[in-house]
Amino acid sequence: MTLVLNVLSVALILVGLTFVLGGTVGLVRLPDLFSRAHAASKCDSVGAGSILLALALQGGLAFGDLKIVLLVLLALVSAPTTAHALARAGYRTGLRAWTRPEREDA
Amino acid sequence: METETPNMRIVTMTAALLIFWNVVVPPEGWVDVLVGTVASLALAVWAARFLWPHAGPHHSSLHMARIPGFALLTAKRIVIAAAQVLRIVMDPRLPIEPFVVRQTVHFDEEAARVVYANAITITPGTLTLDVDGDAVTVHALGPELARDVVDGTLARDVARLFERRQPS
C-alpha cells in the first residue's frame, strides 16, 4: 500500500511540476497580458492541485488531509477569479488584445 | 428549496465558513473558536449586505441534483484547459489566433452570471475580460477553442443549473 501511495505521489508531483513549468513558459512566450493570464490561471491551478494531492497521499489519507483537499478546491476557484480580475483591470484601462499580424503572402 | 431570507443566508454562510475554519485551523482553545466564529459571522454579514444584497439563487431539488454533475464537468474542463494551454506554449510554432468576442447572454439569476463568467475562464482557451449587465466580453486563444462559448453550449449548461426558466 505504501509503495502504491509513493508511486501515485511521485506521479502527481511530476504532473504538477509539468503544469507549473508550462504555466511559467507560457508567461514568457505568450504575447500579451490576456494570453498570459490563460497560462497563469489554467496551468498553475492544476499544477498546484496535483502537488497538493500528492502531499495528501503522503499524509496517509488521514482526516487532516481534508485540509489539503480544501486548499485544492480553493486553488481551483481562486485561480480563474484572479486571472479574470487581472484581465478585467487590463481591459478596462484600455489594453488591447494582441492579434497575429497578417502574413504578406496571404 | 425555497429562496432563503437574508438572515437565513447569514446563518447558513456563517456555518459553512465556521466548518471551513475548523478544518483549516483546528481549534486548540476557546480563543480559536471565538476568533473563527466572529470572523465567519463578520464575513457572512458583509457578504449578505454587499456581495449578495438581493435574494439568493433559487434552487429546486432538480437544480441541486445537477450540481455534482456540473462540478465534475467543471473539474474535467479545468484539467483539459491546462493540458490545452500546456500543448500550445510548448509548441515551437505557438499556434494561437487570439481574438476578443462580445456576446449577450441573459440570465435571470445573478449567481448564474457569476458562474458563467467563471466557467468561461476555466474553459479551455477562453477568458472572461468583462461582464456588464448581459454583455460578456471574452478573450479566446483561437476560434476552435471558443466554440462552446460562442455557440451558447456553456450558457445553456449554466442556465440548466441556476435558472427557473429552462433553456430550450
B35-64 tens-digit pLDDT: 999 999 999 999 888 877 766 556 667 767
Say whether both B79 and B25 belong to one domain.
no
pLDDT digits (tens, 9 = 90+) for A55-97: 888 877 777 778 888 888 888 788 888 888 999 999 999 998 8
Same domain, B94 and B145: yes
Q: Which three cell numbers mark B54?
A: 438581493
Residues B45 and B107 reside in one and the same domain: no
Task: Look at residue A98 and tell me if it is in a domain.
Answer: no
Please report, as a single letter, which amino acid is at residue B132.
D
Is B97 contained in some domain? yes
Residue A61 inside a domain? The answer is yes
Cβ under 8 Å to B: A residues 9-68: 18-19, 22-23, 25-26, 29-32, 34-35, 37-39, 41-43, 45-47, 64, 66-67
Decide if B56 is inside a domain.
no
Structural domain boundaries enclosing A88:
2-92
Residue B40 lies in a domain: yes
Which residue in chain A is spatially nearest to B125 when comparing CA positions?
A38
Tally of structural domains, chain A: 1
Q: Are B98 and A34 within 8 A, CB to CB?
A: yes
Residue B167 lies in a domain: no
B96 falls within a domain = yes
pLDDT over 50 (residue A106): no
Domain limits for position B128: 61-162
* Together in a domain, B71 and B31: no
